Amino acid sequence: MTYDVAALATGSGGLVGFVLGLIGGGGSILAVPLLMYVVGVSSPHIAIGTSAVAVAVSALGNVVGHARAGNIKWRCALVFAAAGIAGAALGSTLGKQMDGQKLLVLFGILMIVIALLMLRPKRDPGNPEVVLTWASARHLLPRLLGIGFGAGVMSGFFGIGGGFLIVPGLMAATGMSLIFAIGSSLVAVTAFGITTAANYALSGLVDWPLVGLFVAGGLVGGVFGSRLAGFLAGKKQILSQVFAAIVAVVGVYVVYKGLVTLGYL
């Protein structure tokens, strides 16, 4: 690995970590495009496998903070994650078998969809007292298992954290309030990322030196992003909207590059 590639990998990880620290989510969707078009990873599958490891490590780091703050509904989170692990294993297996460029085009389309979802106003009508017990399991368990499995399939197929699916999924399954859905989602994101990364690693589709540099950059970037978030707390909604626009533009570019490579344009 050359010095230039190492610097680009560290800087790209720093950018993802900075965005995660600044707006609290969504930044990991940029990991695959950055690895492909900035760092220069030639294979979409290696970019996805490498990204999955970085996403899992980042989410695990955030789990600690939310756990200390008491923002995780552990029983709901663990059931959702367990179902999603099976889904992520299936999704990542299907993703590995798909043509890399076609997978990249679908990834770009997903980025555009995520950007549109990020622009929607967030509502929080949930119940902070919801808890999974023997009494509530009758109606909570089927939804946690079903939605968790579906979110895991999507996460594994595209090699992303899937927080944009998991947070509303947890709210739909249990009725929990937004802050608990965000904290609980990180348990699932970590589990899905580890499952996807392991599946790709078994096929030799993870660049481990890049993972180290990307994660190291992400840790540093996250510190600066979190600090800046404190100064810009009142403008977080605007920052999220600007980031959503950037994600949409990058998504269009990814789709365009993929279609050109496939010979459709």
pLDDT: which is higher, 58 or 147: 147
The residues, any chain, with a CB within 8 Å of residue 54's CB and separated by 6 or more, are: 13, 16, 28, 31, 211, 214, 215, 218
Give the pLDDT score at 123: 61
Q: Give the tens place of pLDDT for each residue, 73-96.
A: 999 999 999 999 999 999 999 999
Span of 99-113, 129-143, 225-239 with lowest mean pLDDT: 225-239
Where in the sequence is the domain holding 181, given as residue range(s)? 3-262
Q: What is the 3-state secondary structure (H, E, C) of the chain?
A: CCHHHHHHHHHHHHHHHHHHHHHCCCHHHHHHHHHHHHHCCCCHHHHHHHHHHHHHHHHHHHHHHHHHCCCCCHHHHHHHHHHHHHHHHHHHHHHHHCCHHHHHHHHHHHHHHHHHHHCCCCCCCCCCCCCCCCCCHHHHHHHHHHHHHHHHHHHHHHCCCCHHHHHHHHHHHHCCCHHHHHHHHHHHHHHHHHHHHHHHHHCCCCCHHHHHHHHHHHHHHHHHHHHHHHHCHHHHHHHHHHHHHHHHHHHHHHHHHHHHHHCCC
The 10 Å Cβ neighbour count of residue 122 is 10
CA-only gyration radius of the chain, Å: 18
Confidence bin at 199 (pLDDT 50/70/90): very high
- Contact at 8 Å (CB) between 8 and 212? no
- The predicted pLDDT at position 79 comes to 94
Q: How far is CA 93 from CA 34, 88, 115, 205, 263, in A?
A: 23, 8, 26, 12, 26
What is the reported pTM?
Answer: 0.81
pLDDT in tens, 22-51: 766 666 678 888 998 899 998 889 999 998
pLDDT of residue 60: 81
For all residues of the chain together, what is the average pLDDT? Answer: 84
If one counts the domains in the chain, the total is: 1
- CA-to-CA separations, 205 to 50, 187, 237, in angstroms, rounded: 7, 24, 37
Q: Which two tokens stand for residue 140?
A: 């909570």
pLDDT digits (tens, 9 = 90+) for 122-162: 665 666 778 788 888 888 899 999 999 998 998 888 877 66
Which of 38-52, 108-122, 166-180 has the lowest average pLDDT?
A: 108-122
Residue 174 has pLDDT above 80, yes or no: yes
Structure tokens at 69: 């703050």
The reported pLDDT for the residue numbered 103 is 87
Confidence band for 243, pLDDT divided at 50, 70 and 90: confident
Q: What is the pLDDT of residue 149?
A: 95
pLDDT band at 67 (very low <50, low <70, confident <90, very high): confident
Residue 183 has pLDDT above 90, yes or no: no
Q: What angle do CA 222, 254, 89 make, to 5 degrees?
A: 70
Q: Give the rounded percent of residues in the chain with a pLDDT score beyond 70.
A: 89
Q: What is the pLDDT of residue 125?
A: 62
End-to-end CA distance of the chain: 33
